[in-house]
Amino acid sequence: MKKIIILLIAIISITGCTLSDIDNTPTKQVEAFFNNYQTLDKKVLDDLDLVINKKTNYNEQQKEEYRKILKKHYQNLTYEIKDETVNGDRANVEVEIEVTDFYKTLKEAKDYLENHQEDFIDETGNYSESKYIDYQLDKLNDTKDTVKYTLNLTLNKVDNNWQLEQIDEIEEKKILGIYEY
């Protein structure tokens, strides 16, 4: 065992690597990114609040229900790194994610609304968007189907550390499970 440790230290000193360099790879940064979703990291939860606050037509109870649904969704997200390409200070990591198929559920809910508007009428005889949102949330909460998406994430080396570029709207929709396929 001592010989293995000495050999490892010798290799590290010869190559100039430190143990922190082992974690400083594009793949490790992408793994950390998705692990933050799975563990509901503070930044992920802050971003989740931004997504929820965009839902101006949701009441507070609906926003809280949507928050619970997405938290569960994030915790169930799985990923597999497929490829890493490094070109100088830029890198691309291809990752396949599997997420809850909310796109399919929302499409089915919309189709149901179009054919059953009478189910969403309030006591005054008018269409109730709130009733429809409650219906959507119930369906999202019951969703079991999953879908796989491929993401190509770009990273840049800044001050000798790999940093993930801001993801675009398409990649965000894939992570949320609402990307139209």
Q: pLDDT, tens digit, for every residue of 109-126?
A: 999 999 999 999 999 999
Q: pLDDT, tens digit, for every residue of 101-110?
A: 999 999 999 9
Residue 16: pLDDT over 60: no
Report the distance separating Cα 26 and Cα 156, nearest Å.
Answer: 9
Say what percent of the chain tops pLDDT 90.
86
H or E element at residue 78? strand 78-87
Q: What residue spans define the domains of the chain?
A: 24-176
Q: Report pLDDT for 23.
A: 80
Partners of 126 in the beta sheet? none
Residue appearing with tokens 């675009």: 168
Q: Report the chain's mean pLDDT, rounded to a whole number.
A: 90
Q: Which residue, among 151, 153, 174, 171, has the nearest Cα to 163 in the 3D structure?
A: 153
At the top level of CATH, the class of 24-176 is alpha beta
Residue 161: pLDDT over 80: yes
Report the distance separating Cα 102 and Cα 69, nearest Å.
Answer: 10
